Amino acid sequence: MKTSLRTFMLPVLILSYSMLTGTDIPYLTGRVNDYAQILSSETHQSLTEILRAHENRTGNQIVVLTIPTIGGESIEEYAADVFKAWGLGQKGIDNGILIVVVPNDRRMRIEVGYGLEPALTDGMAGQIIRTVMTPRFKDGNYDEGIAGGARAVIGVLEGGELPDMAEDSGSSAGSNDFFEGPDLPIRERILIGAFIFGIIGLFTVMGILTPAGGWFLYFFLIPFWAMFPIVVVGSRGAFACLITYLIAFPIAKLIIRNSKWYKKAKKDMRSKGRASIGGFRFTSGGSGRSWSSGSSSSFSGGGGSSGGGGASGSW
């Protein structure tokens, strides 16, 4: 009777705590916790056996969680909270791994315990997400995506390297996911993109409008357009940005050079050493060139970095 009462009360207490704290951490029911109900009973059973066998062989504890939605919460923060609440892995060894899939939000994450980070690096976890799980999820095949991701994780932990995923890599490479940049939430992509493109975009416009010194800015900004966009739109997107910049800048320069205001600004620059275009005052002196606005404001660039154990993805 007491055992039945404790079994009944535990979920109730956890649910009450979640309602009070606003943290939606579900009850740990086993190695596979399919709260989103996206797995077939066969996959649920076979995956449980695979994870149990791996734990018996190595001691590593791999747990799968599917949940319909986490609202506006970050997948990284949610996975870390669940990992901590469930206490995955052995104490002092930290050999736990949590695979989280949120179908309604189209997000996923492989959260790796500290003790397994050297064996399953962030790059490896990200590759498993991109080449094994994401293509299957896009096809609506959650059974193969989750089971395949779990098998790939086990393959890394037991074999020391990623399994052969040439077929999956090909399907991923052929997809239309053009913006394949780092796994960042859309809000972070927008904020970082506004910062990066705002700065280099401003200097690009100034280079186009500047009667003197514009071509110096053209060549100066090439490495910035080649590297900075990678953070937001990935390597393919950055390459497209670079090609667009290399072509569009000279074309824009040639188009405006015959306009009256540009000719006047160019003449003023030669005769007076300064010119005003659109509220900005351009000056030249000696062998250098400079530009300033009417309020003599200046711009400077900077950046930041982020990281964590594991990798996230979307589809």
The answer to the question of residue 265 being in a domain is: yes
Alpha carbon 250 to chain centroid, angstroms: 33
- Same-domain status, 168 and 50: yes
- Same-domain status, 163 and 200: no
- Same-domain status, 191 and 168: no
- Same-domain status, 225 and 118: no
Domain end position, chosen among 120, 139, 172: 172
The answer to the question of residue 302 being in a domain is: no
What CATH number is given to the structural domain containing 152? Answer: 3.10.310.50
The answer to the question of residue 309 being in a domain is: no
The answer to the question of residue 300 being in a domain is: no
- Same-domain status, 154 and 45: yes
- Same-domain status, 59 and 142: yes
- Same-domain status, 122 and 235: no
pTM for the model stands at: 0.51
The residues of the chain scoring below 70 in pLDDT are 1-24, 160-185, 211-213, 261, 265-315
- Same-domain status, 231 and 116: no
Which pLDDT value is given to residue 164? 57
Full residue range of the structural domain in which residue 231 is found: 186-293
The answer to the question of residue 17 being in a domain is: no
- Same-domain status, 163 and 65: yes
- Same-domain status, 76 and 159: yes
- Same-domain status, 107 and 159: yes
Q: Which neighbouring-strand residues pair with 313? A: 108
- Angle value at C-alpha 43, between 309 and 10, nearest 5 degrees: 65
- Same-domain status, 212 and 99: no
Domain end position, chosen among 149, 172, 195: 172
Is there a contact between 88 and 139 (Cβ–Cβ < 8 Å)?
A: no
Alpha carbon distances (Å) from 171 to 110, 132, 135, 141, 161: 21, 10, 7, 14, 21
Domain count, the chain: 2
Domain end position, chosen among 146, 172, 198: 172
The answer to the question of residue 2 being in a domain is: no
